[in-house]
Amino acid sequence: MPPKRKLRVSSAYSSPPGSKSKKRSTKFQPAPVSTPSTLSTNTFPPRNSSSSSNSTLSHSSVNSNIINRTFYPPEMSNARCALYNSNQLPRPMAELEQTLFSTLPQRQAINLGAAVIHWFKRDLRLHDNRSLHLAAQKAREGNIPLICVFLISPQDYEAHLTSPARVDFEFRSLAILRQGLAALDIPLHISTVEIRKNVPARLVEFATQVSAHHIFTNLEYEPDELRREDKLVRLCLDHGIAFDAVHDDCIVPPTTLSTRQGKQYSVYTPWFRAWVAHLHSHPDLLAASPPPPQNPPSTRRELASLFDADIPAVPENKTLSPEMKKRSEHLWPAGEHAALERLQRFLSEKVKAYKDRRNFPAENGTACLSVHHSAGTLAARTSVRMAREANSTSKLDGGGEGLKGWIGEVAWRDFYKHVLVNWPYVCMNKPFKYEYTNIEWEYNDEHFKAWCEGRTGYPFVDAAMRQLLHTGYMHNRCRMLVASFLSKHLLLDWRLGEQYFMLHLIDGDFASNNGGWGFSSSTGVDPQPYFRIFNPLLQSEKFDPEGEYIRKWVPELRDVVGKVVHDPFGRGDEEIVARVEGRGYPRMVVEHRWARERCLKRYKAGIGRETA
Ligand SMILES: Cc1cc2nc3c(=O)[nH]c(=O)nc-3n(C[C@H](O)[C@H](O)[C@H](O)COP(=O)(O)OP(=O)(O)OC[C@H]3O[C@@H](n4cnc5c(N)ncnc54)[C@H](O)[C@@H]3O)c2cc1C
């Protein structure tokens, strides 16, 4: 959970670097701030430029190609966001629910057909999978085979900025899933659909080929995916097929909770109270769905070609280098068995100390399960259920501090999906606080590059960015810090950081990532107030007191002893400064106090600026 408490400031670093220390050898000079320019495409896929001249749009979407116009429309106006908030524009989830509701009688009247399909997406597991279970039940009713499908959509990977590490993890998990299904005589048909808008037609085509009359799938909550499923319901009906999309990814479906006044929660704490109360009164939401049973014996013979087909290749632009692939396989074993094993180990060995140790990135104090939650090799529901079973009480907000705290973290995942569903414009490049659209951001290529490469001169920030590049993962404390640093110290558009994270994280998940960036840049739901600006040196001393994390990820500082490692140029003597500089470690790109003042002024002015 992003902390709301003010950090206790007790360190000598409360002054700008060098202002007190006699050892500091050079005067700080912030790097010159360049005028807005086109950002480097080395780190981003090229964008089509937007031709919009609407002066109410933020500079970035118009001039910096921040929106990938190959797949998305230009930035939405604030006025249109307001229409969502006043319920004058229907949300994609509500539209899909309406379609599912109005077509229910027709869909229920459709006969069983020769097979039932489960369409896998971000739910790559046999256990505790709601849609898979429903599909298996339906197949059982008629003693017909269950057939599973996974469609690879390279354009979706591109549009969603899915990282190669994430794609690699998905493909490794698919191979494991396919083996597990095959052991039950259930085929998994995997094929590539080059053009993303052809996905619905391909699914219908396949269902027609195998004479399946029922398709089940779990919901994804991004607007494009909800709209796709909406179309699919009708397209399938045109072909005599019943399409059903069900809640699975969230423990409490995101349309369930609202305040007594019927409004949507936009603050985590009251939402969490309602979430806990709802689960206490609806225990079925935490119940496990059993894995599918064995298919009828004739399936192997009748559908032999589906069992024999190869898994298609990973799209070229999402292929990991052999070195990174090997590392990723070692760090992130794929599939649901690895997920369950990791969860069990965490619950038996680490969760007790979670509350105290979770904020220290040098320690292995968190579960490292986000990659599994995100690819669906582990249901968040399974995690919370097993955490509850390990607790001394069945109350989700009681018992051991570690378990209670951990359940609260998993709940953040649900919270951010609730935000995505209820404020869908967050998925359309708008901040939750759309009145913050007109903050004037910097578009400084050099600063952005320094941030991406872990060369800002702030060792804790740099260690975190290098951890991300090396492993595809970053500790939560560090995610908050580097996101704050990008948006507040460098005053770069937070959406650049949000996109960069998606392009590199192995656990990239739109809602959690967008929520984290919104919190850290103070533009999101339930955010850190904009005037609360992390001091990177204080964060470093507090959360990496021995400098272990820094030394692990920043080799230039590996032999810098003591607290000097947090700020080698500010605290080091001449010999250290010369050594570190000789190894090419950079000086700070911006000075903290100066950056803080600039940020405060810019946010204040931006919030006050009129937008439409
Ligand atoms: C800027 C920023 C970007 C982020 N991007 C992502 C992302 O793309 N994908 C992602 O899964 N998480 C993201 N997070 C949330 C969080 O950092 C990771 O979920 C967490 O670090 C994963 O490590 P873990 O599994 O050891 O977590 P643990 O501390 O063990 O937590 C258990 C589980 O709870 C969930 N969780 C924990 N914290 C959060 C949170 N703040 N928001 C949402 N879910 C949470 C995760 O599923 C996690 O696996 C982001 C946070 C920030 C500040």
Q: Is the CB of 208 under 6 A from ligand 1?
A: no
Q: What is the ipTM of this complex?
A: 0.99
Cβ-Cβ contacts under 8 Å for 240 (sequence gap 6 or more): 110, 213
In this predicted model, which residue has the larger pLDDT, 252 or 30? 252
Predicted pLDDT of residue 606: 87
Question: Is residue 529 very low, low, confident or very high in pLDDT (cuts 50, 70, 90)?
Answer: confident
**pLDDT confidence tier of residue 610, bands split at 50, 70 and 90:** low
CB contact at 8 A, 296 and 187: no
Instruction: Say how far apart CA 3 and CA 480 lie, in whole Å.
Output: 10
Ligand-binding annotation for 336, yes or no, is no
Known catalytic membership, residue 409? yes
Over the stretch 458-498, which tens digit does the pLDDT of each residue have?
A: 999 999 999 999 999 999 999 999 999 999 999 999 999 99
Across the range 69-97, mean pLDDT stands at: 94
Residue 435: predicted pLDDT: 84
- pTM attached to this predicted model: 0.91
Backbone torsions φ then ψ of 215, nearest 5 degrees: -120, 130
Equal CATH topology for 92-308 and 441-608: no
Q: What pLDDT, on a 0 to 100 scale, did the predictor assign at position 527? A: 77
What angle is formed at CA 460 by the lines to CA 456 and CA 463, rounded to 5 degrees?
80
| CA of residue 316 to ligand 1 center, whole Å | 28
The pLDDT value given to residue 45: 32
Determine the average pLDDT of the residues in 334-354: 98
Q: 4: how many CB neighbours lie within 10 A of its CB?
A: 13
Which atom of ligand 1 is nearest the CA belonging to 474?
Answer: 21
β-bridge partners, 245: 217
pLDDT digits (tens, 9 = 90+) for 23-44: 333 333 333 333 233 333 233 3
* Residues contacting 268, CB < 8 A, separation 6+: 1, 412, 415, 526
CATH of 441-608, one of 1.20.1740.10, 2.120.10.80, 1.10.10.10, 1.10.579.10: 1.10.579.10
At 325, the amino acid letter reads K
Two tokens, residue 352: 């007790």
Does the pLDDT of residue 596 top 80, yes or no? yes
* Distance, CA of 10 to CA of 538 (rounded, Å): 8
Atom of ligand 1 nearest to the CA of 373: 47
| Residue 479: per-residue pLDDT | 98
Retrieve residue 425's tokens. 């414009």
Residue-level pLDDT at 438: 84
d(CA 324, CA 329): 9
Whether residue 441 lies in the annotated active site: yes
pLDDT at 21 over 50: no
Find out whether the beta carbon of 483 lies less than 6 Å from any atom of ligand 1.
Answer: yes
Quote the mean pLDDT of the chain: 90
Domain ranges of the chain: 92-308, 441-608
Two structure tokens written together for 131? 């849609």
Instruction: Quote the pLDDT of residue 38.
Output: 31
Give the distance (Å) from ligand 1 centre to CA of residue 416.
11
Which residue has its alpha carbon closest to ligand 1 atom 5? Answer: 513
494 carries an active-site annotation:
yes
* 85 CA from centroid of ligand 1 (Å): 27
| Ligand 1 probe mutation, 221, 476, 488, 521, most atoms within 8 A of CB | 476
pLDDT at 51 > cutoff 90: no
Q: What is the mean pLDDT of residues 390-413?
A: 97
What CATH class is the domain 92-308?
alpha beta
Instruction: Supply 495's token pair.
Output: 């959406």
* Catalytic entry in 95, 435, 442, 476: 476
DSSP string covering 497-557: HHHHHHHH-TT--HHHHHHHHHHHHT-SSSPPPTT----HHHHHHHHSTT-HHHHHH-GGG
What are the residues facing 218 on neighbouring strands? 246
Q: Report in angstroms the alpha-carbon separations of 104 from 132, 223, 237.
A: 19, 22, 11
Output the CA torsion 168→173→179→182 (10° steps): -110
Q: Which of 182, 183, 611, 255 is nearest to 419 (CA)?
A: 255
Find the catalytic residue in 119, 271, 451, 494.
Answer: 494
Q: Is the CB–ligand 1 distance for residue 369 below 6 Å?
A: yes
Match 């951001």 to its residue by tokens.
Answer: 441
Does the pLDDT of residue 8 top 50, yes or no? no
Q: Is 507 in the pocket of ligand 1 (CB under 6 A)?
A: yes
| pLDDT tens digit sequence for 441-457 | 999 999 999 999 999 99
pLDDT average, residue stretch 404-426 = 97
CB 220 within 8 A of CB 511: no
Q: So what's the pLDDT on residue 64? A: 64
Active site residue 476: yes
609 — pLDDT class (breaks 50, 70, 90): low
Does residue 370 have a known ligand-binding role? Answer: yes
Among residues of the chain, what percentage have pLDDT more than 90?
84
pLDDT in tens, 101-153: 999 999 999 999 999 999 999 999 999 999 999 999 999 999 999 999 999 99
Q: Where is average pLDDT lowest: 73-77, 87-91, 411-415? A: 73-77
Token readout for 287 is 């119940």
